Amino acid sequence: MGSTQPAVRGTARGAATGKRGAVVAALMLAMALAALDSTVVSTAVPQIVGDLGGFSVFSWLFSGYLLAVTVTLPLYGKLSDTFGRKPVLMAGASVFLLGSLLCALAWDMWALIAFRVVQGLGGGALQGTVQTLAADLYPLEERPKIQARLSTVWAVSAVAGPAVGGVLAAYADWRWIFLVNLPVGGLALWLIVRHLHEPRREKAARARVDWSGALTVFACGGVLLTALVQGGVAWPWLSAPSIALLGTGLALVALLVVIERRAAEPIIPGWVWRRRTIAAVNLALGALGLLMVAPAVFLPTYAQSVLGLGPVAAGFVLSVWTLSWPVSAACSQHVYRRIGFRNTAVLGIGAATLILLAFPLLPYPGAAWQPTLLMLLLGAALGLFQLPLVVGVQSTVGWSERGTATASILFCRQIGQTVGASVFGAVANGVLAGRLGSADLDAVAHGLDTGAASGTTRRAVAEAVHAVYLGAACAAALAFLVLLVLAPRRFPVIDDH
């Protein structure tokens, strides 16, 4: 099957010329929209529920957005390779802003959930296309600069997001959480339109888009992610809804394989798994998404219930890894230039494995500085692990494949996070049930927050979180083995000068 990808004239740096500083500012603003989204909304949930009701389904404010972002990443990656980054980013940002406006106008919880899905449909373009343009903007030796800046955006968002959301919810109205996206996104769009100039490309005779594959990816991802997000929460794992969703999802996977093999320009081309480098990084970053759930979801509960910290102090224990992560990522270039992409990532994930294994060895109840130090070290290790893999993969493909390759690794990381939330939630609840007879993690955390829990319950929570961290260490060890066994010692880098 012949490719209809348009040819690109110009260098890699010419892929996003104009005033590069203004373009970088636009990318950082666009990334901030996606990075701030969940953290800002989470702090306003009590006000949203108090106004709109729907407490039993409010978790879908986050799940619906996550589903939409995840399943659209491959589509946007392919579209950016076919039609260019600029139109895809502009379209995605516009959809995200439309969803934000609709969220601010929502009249009940179900309407807000539906509009959050619309936001997610645009959020997939923001995440994938911004990362791809970051590689287009800079040649290999300069890419850590822009990636470090984007990592800093995520770090600042993780710290500032809850504060911004709390202030807006307390002193204004929760609807402003969505309305503030409009001027920020509008400025990003204006900078992109004015300053982002992609090189002139020879148009293909007919740009073919695999819409049947795109719809199947969306349906398949939506069904399987719904099964993973709701399984063990809305219904038992072995119940009829779980079995029906998982069975339907597997059938759609088989259908997707058939469709993609026949498509002239598949949404998920086979080469992302046939090339050792990309396949290994896909699996490794899927494991990264899995292990990230342990601290992000369970550490705040541990800090409050076991260590006795308040919400603000517990948030600080978690946020320190967002401080060391971008610093380590920025410094990783000095390491991978000496020992290579793979060996640098192996060094980082090896250190992360040891740090995660150290967490269950902390004394009970322990002091707050102990998990804080481990999180600081974990962020440094993961910065050394992730950035070399992202830069490495983007440097092994040309312009016409970079969007698909970038979307592939981001998609796998998102899937890992979704699977991790389900698996580790089941592990934590299983340990609690074993220690206390019958327990639900949310109910236990509520009892601890009100001071009604016994020392036995606190100890059970500590053991549950320790078990989750052991699971995260296993995921890190899996990524370590994947890189050693599957990834080539030297990535086949393309000279982009």
Domain boundaries, the chain: 19-196, 212-268, 269-496
The residue among 202 and 79 whose pLDDT is bigger is: 79
DSSP code, position 439: -
**Record: fold of 19-196:** Growth Hormone; Chain: A; (1.20.1250)
What CATH number does domain 269-496 carry, 1.20.1250.20, 3.30.70.580, 3.40.50.300, 2.40.50.140? 1.20.1250.20
Q: Picking from 12-26, 149-163, 181-195, 411-425, which range would have the lowest pLDDT averaged per residue?
A: 12-26
pLDDT at 428 over 90: no
What's residue 447's pLDDT? 54
What's residue 453's pLDDT? 54
Query: How far, in Å, CA of 273 to CA of 485, rounded?
Result: 15
Could you tell me what percentage of the chain is helix, strand and coil, using 3-state DSSP and rounding each to the nearest 5? Answer: 80, 0, 20
Helix axes 341-358, 311-339, angle to 10 degrees: 150
The alpha carbon dihedral of 283, 344, 125, 173 has a sign of: positive
What would the mean pLDDT of 425-429 be, rounded to a whole number?
A: 79
Q: Which two tokens stand for residue 135?
A: 């590689």
Fold identical between 19-196 and 269-496? Answer: yes
What's the N-to-C CA distance of the chain in angstroms? 30
pLDDT band of 38, cuts 50, 70, 90? low
What's residue 356's pLDDT? 95
pLDDT at 151 over 50: yes
Query: How far, in Å, CA of 291 to CA of 271, rounded?
Result: 27
Q: Within 10 A of 284 (CB to CB), how many other CB atoms are there?
A: 29
pLDDT at 39 over 80: no
Query: How far, in Å, CA of 96 to CA of 72, rounded?
Result: 13
Task: Name which of 117, 132, 114, 123 is nearest 91 in CA terms.
Answer: 123
Largest CA distance in the chain: 71
Per-chain mean pLDDT for the chain: 81
Task: Name which of 125, 149, 123 is nearest 36 in CA terms.
Answer: 123
What's residue 443's pLDDT? 54
| Cα angle for residues 342, 325, 287 (degrees, 5° grid) | 50
Are 165 and 41 contacting, i.e. CB atoms less than 8 angstroms apart? yes
